[in-house]
Structure 1
Amino acid sequence: MNILPDYILWKPTLTLCLICLCLFGCSTVPPTHYQVASEQGANGYSHIQLSENQYRVLFKGNKNTDKDEAKDFALLHAAELTTAQGYDWFTIVDSETDVETKGVTRVGPSTMKPVPGQTSCGLLGCATPSSPNYAGGEVTTKQVKENVLSSLLITMGKGEPKTPLTVFDAAQLAENLRQAN
């Protein structure tokens, strides 16, 4: 006969299941989608106006965001910003995409190996004392991807560009990138 209520017996099982769900649920973070950054330094797109028709456009993604996807999202925001400001096209003055990394250090398991001492013999026989010897674990450090940041310095324009091969048609580019993503 069980003297404990059934719910007490379920507590350890439920606790273990919840811990496993939390651990496995947190291990896979989806890549950053095309979204506005909620604050400065947050994941998503943002921009800074530098002059009347010049902006710095940024897209920051998490560790699971592909580098090329971050570049495309920065381009998409540049195109949308250009049309929203009443311009037809933009040119990229400068671009940069950085993958930020952080160092992760792991320490392997340590071992204890007995070290034999010197054998000594007496009236009752021989003895070989041994003492434990600590052998430390292997320490490794590797760089892992933390964030990806794509930055564009753009200049916007209206009408027919003087050098049409170096500009992006904002409306057409935005349409193409939305279809691709």
Structure 2
Amino acid sequence: MNILPDYILLKPTLTLCMICLCLFGCSTVPPTQYQAAVENGDNGYSHVQLSDNQYRVLFKGNKTTDEDDAKNYALLHAAELTTAQGYTWFTIVDSDLDIETKELTRVGPTTTKPVRGETTCGLLGCATPSSPNYAGGEVTTKQVKENIMSSLLITMGKGEPKTPLKVFDAKQLAQNLR
């Protein structure tokens, strides 16, 4: 008993192409999730200690990572780092969002347009010669997002902050962002 339709059995090349389209046709790069960067320059969060209570916190995402997610992941790592270092709050001294782009150039299809010559007439009739004329394809260039990086310079503290309006409670912020 044959459970496959006849056209699948008769057209193995077509079948293989259809399977490839199903498997690879809709693949997109998922956004970078909240994860530690394995090596310097990898996607994910990382930090650099600048002094006893000051750190540069980074989150790098790929081209499909949303700007707000990149900012929130950097904030979340800052909150987790603050509690891990034994502090209760942190303040943001400086922040930056950098979007790396690359130039993408595409060339449209080329076309040929016939160029009509001068019509000449003789004993057997008239003729209008034509020759193909190359008309190149349209070239378009645009900037596309390649990576996104959110960077925070934070100072950590304990106890009662001097300026409570500019301070993030590390535990509360981490709870809210998770």
TM-score, L = length of structure 2: 0.89
User: C-alpha root-mean-square deviation of aligned residues, in Å?
Assistant: 1.9
CA 1:105–1:131: 2 relative to 1, 3 Å: same
Distance in 2, Cα, partners of 1:167 & 1:128: 83
Q: What secondary structure sits across from 1:98 in the alignment? A: strand
**Does residue 98 in structure 1 map to residue 101 in structure 2?**
no
- How big is each residue's C-alpha offset from its partner over 1:85-123, in whole Å with a ceiling of 9 and x where there is no partner? 111111111000122222211111111111111122233
Size of the aligned set, in residue pairs, is 172
Distance in 2, Cα, partners of 1:32 & 1:169: 26
In the other structure, the counterpart of 2:20 is 19
What is the one-letter code of the residue matched to 2:84?
A: A
Distance in 1, Cα, partners of 2:81 & 2:22: 41
In the other structure, the counterpart of 1:79 is 79
CA shift, 1:10, in A, is 5.9
In the other structure, the counterpart of 1:176 is 176
CA shift, 1:50, in A, is 1.1
What is the one-letter code of the residue matched to 2:24?
A: L
What is the one-letter code of the residue matched to 2:103?
A: G
In the other structure, the counterpart of 1:4 is none
Distance in 1, Cα, partners of 2:14 & 2:120: 55
In the other structure, the counterpart of 2:5 is none
Gaps of 5+ in 1: 1-6
Q: What secondary structure sits across from 1:72 in the alignment? A: helix
Gaps of 5+ in 2: 1-7
Q: What secondary structure sits across from 2:96 in the alignment? A: strand
What is the one-letter code of the residue matched to 1:65?
A: T
Distance in 1, Cα, partners of 2:114 & 2:11: 44
In the other structure, the counterpart of 2:113 is 113
CA shift, 1:154, in A, is 0.5
What is the one-letter code of the residue matched to 2:147?
A: N
Instruction: Between 122-131 and 71-80, report the one with greater CA deviation.
Output: 122-131
Instruction: Between 143-152 and 12-21, report the one with greater CA deviation.
Output: 12-21
Q: What secondary structure sits across from 1:36 in the alignment? A: coil
Q: What secondary structure sits across from 2:133 in the alignment? A: strand
In the other structure, the counterpart of 1:126 is 126
Identity score, percent: 73
Distance in 2, Cα, partners of 1:164 & 1:8: 73
CA shift, 1:9, in A, is 4.5
Structure 1 segment 116-155 matched on structure 2, within 5 A: 116-155=116-155
